[in-house]
Structure 1
Amino acid sequence: MAHDHCCSHTAATPSVQQNLDELDFERGIWAAAMDGEVDKVKKYLGNGGDPDAVDSAGYAALHYAARSGQRMTCEILLDHGANVNAQTRSGGATPMHRAAYQGHTEIVQLFLQRGGNITLRDSDGKTALHKAAERSKTQVCKLLVDKDRSLLTVTDIRNRKPVDCIPDGQSELVHILE
């Protein structure tokens, strides 16, 4: 996919060709969370909006904020009761998976402080460590391994450990994950 978003939503700006799901995305909390529009997120939550509401693709606002590196938005959502371990319906991804995949170390740290479970697996059997390894996110890998060395031996559905997910040529990361 050409866009670096969690699902098929591609723009945070309305256009004449939006479908109903895209309009709901725009009006809901998800686009504001993704874009770090703190005031909109606060207003939504202040009006009684559900911090764990999911969009048509099954992602909560915390997934979007985590993926796009919006730490303040993540904090606000968590302060309003968002589930740090929420898993998507279809892929089983958590906000931790999203933050790790993008290399957002501070957000991974925040999730750990707020009860994030680093042993949760997505539908491919991958932990957040697998996701960080896939993208050579060294600092996130170090953080997760320091938190729980048992993650090094977890295998996904293709029987791959995190070290097996590292792109070629990443010897420093291999050293960390062996």
Structure 2
Amino acid sequence: MVAAQEGHCRIFDFLIGKGANVSQVDDDGKNFLYWSCKGGHVGMVECVLPQYETDDVFPLMQAACDGYRDVCEFLVCMGADVSQVDAFGYSVLHCSCREGHLDVVKYILSLCIIDINSSGVGGKTPLMEAAYGKHRDIVELLIRNGANVSQVDEAGENVIQNSFMDGIEEIVKTITRENLVNVRNRNMSEVTAAMTAKCN
């Protein structure tokens, strides 16, 4: 696993040749493929991939979360299912938006596979994740690509209310510029974005 994460393909092959158990996982259930994707080495992923099925969502999710576009592209070319979600309903788009990886977000959107307005845990959309993470460039990209700025999460909060939690003025300006969202929207607790901003 260490060899996989660090990108040492020759050492990995040597250990496999000496009988290393390719089905072994760590205490969190993560296998060699996961660790090679987390390391971000395309050559290592290519070395490890034949040992596994490419429909496992976690390697692709990990590469997207860590911002490794080249690894994402390789996994997709090898058959990784971009439309899969994790146990919380999060897609690779949610993950890359939350972590602020613009290149990965652009690549995922270019595939035209994932619903840009899909909901993850708590009803959060990729746009909400990007806004909450203070990633203005991704917010603007998502809006240009048709993200629904008026969509609300399970708490009844829209993207502005998610933004105001951290007092992100520039993102709020970006979102409200086109008057596409209800700035007076009240969440389940009857709180508006302005009320939240005033408290902050």
Where on the TM-score scale, by shorter chain, does this alignment land: which range?
A: 0.7 to 0.9
Q: Does 1:91 align with 2:122?
A: yes
The equivalent of 2:141 in structure 1 is 110
- Percent identity reads 22
Separation in structure 1 between the aligned mates of residue 100 and residue 189 of structure 2, nearest angstrom = 29
The equivalent of 1:53 in structure 2 is 84
In structure 2, which of residues 89, 97, 109 is the aligned counterpart of residue 66 of structure 1? 97
The equivalent of 2:164 in structure 1 is 133
> Normalized against structure 2, the TM-score is what?
0.70
The equivalent of 2:70 in structure 1 is 39
Separation in structure 2 between the aligned mates of residue 131 and residue 96 of structure 1, nearest angstrom = 10
| SS of 2:194 mapped into structure 1 | helix
| SS of 1:154 mapped into structure 2 | coil
Structure 1 residue 151 displacement after superposition:
2.1
Structure 1 residue 110 displacement after superposition:
0.3
Separation in structure 2 between the aligned mates of residue 48 and residue 113 of structure 1, nearest angstrom = 28
**Which structure features the higher share of helix residues?**
2
| SS of 2:177 mapped into structure 1 | helix
| SS of 1:91 mapped into structure 2 | helix
Separation in structure 2 between the aligned mates of residue 158 and residue 38 of structure 1, nearest angstrom = 40
The equivalent of 2:190 in structure 1 is 159
CA contact (8 A) 2:57 2:80 kept: no
- Higher RCO (CA-CA < 8 Å; seq separation 6+): 1
- Counterpart residue identity of residue 39, structure 1: D
CA contact (8 A) 2:57 2:84 kept: no
Structure 1 residue 167 displacement after superposition:
6.0
Separation in structure 1 between the aligned mates of residue 109 and residue 180 of structure 2, nearest angstrom = 26
Q: How many residues align?
A: 154
In structure 1, stretches of 5+ residues that fail to align are 1-12, 170-178
- Counterpart residue identity of residue 154, structure 2: S
- Counterpart residue identity of residue 75, structure 1: K
Q: Bigger radius of gyration, 1 or 2?
A: 2
| SS of 2:79 mapped into structure 1 | coil
In structure 2, stretches of 5+ residues that fail to align are 6-24, 35-55
> Normalized against structure 1, the TM-score is what?
0.78
- Counterpart residue identity of residue 18, structure 1: D
Q: Which runs of 4+ in 1 moved over 3 A?
A: 23-26
Structure 1 residue 149 displacement after superposition:
6.0
- Counterpart residue identity of residue 178, structure 2: K
